[in-house]
Structure 1
Amino acid sequence: MTGSTRRALLFLDVDGPLIPFGGTGHREGPAQQGNEGDSGGNPLLARLDPALGARLTALRCDLVWATTWMDDANEYVAPRIGLPDLPVVAWPDPAEEDERAGLHWKTRTLMRWAAGRPFLWVDDEITPADRAWVAAHHPAPTLLHRVDPRTGLTDRDFAALARWVHDHP
């Protein structure tokens, strides 16, 4: 693309960041009416906050599913939170070398997928080893943001993501 900048990628995990494990709280109830028959067999989908899609879109990043849900994220998650179909990262078999290095099995694949673009990665399993490895090997700015899987994405998380996007246009 000549003369334009490409937006940062935002790699999204589902279990933990979008579907919290710490209880159902406000994420059940009226917001899920009409979806009861289309759960894909997963009762945890009722924990999705329907406002998440608008909040993620407002970050002005190119959203990408980075989840073991793969294409099911587009079928079962996206419509419940108001997102269109998104690109999906295809996962290779995890490499033993990543485990020995203390890296999450997604780390190298996400860097390859980003192909030098700035990116944010929202996941509940990010470690300091992942942050250090990406900082040493990726040429563009990155934010590896760990979300507490008990609560999922919170106002505080969205503030951190928005701050990073603002500081890395």
Structure 2
Amino acid sequence: MDGKKSYTFLEIKQKLVNYCVYQDRCHQEVEQKMRDFLLVPEAKEEILLYLMQENYLSEERFTRSYIRGKFYMKSWGRNKIRNHLKFKGVPEKLINNCFDEIDVEDYHQTLTKLFQQYHSKLKGLQEYQKKSKTITYLMGKGFEYEEIKEVGNEGEEI
């Protein structure tokens, strides 16, 4: 015996309902959680179907919630959010359809604020070095190069 407690089918089903109720999950996370329990494939399918039919599991709701959370709470850019969702097995088309969760104006304001905060923290560097480091930082947060460049050039005399 490996010390794992065994559960009935209904107990497992309830545990997975609770798992989905606690926060939105994607299919991959639920399937991963199911691996904790020794279930036959038919039982897994039945539970997945139940979770979707009862609206405990919705890939679109998960995607929308994930996009909002990562942008509005963590200030991640679209690229980083997209990559993390792809890693979780969310289809590209669904990801693209859900990006309307981020208001275009909010995106621009967040990017501008992050640019200014990071740029102003850098001391003892020449302007082009400060700009270069800021661009690298923001690309690491998942913002698009073109958009970063645009924000970096705002207010400059050309």
Q: Could you say whether these structures have the same fold, taking a TM-score greater than 0.5 normalized by the shorter chain as the test? A: no
TM value normalised by structure 2: 0.23
Larger Rg: 2
**More helix, by proportion:** 2
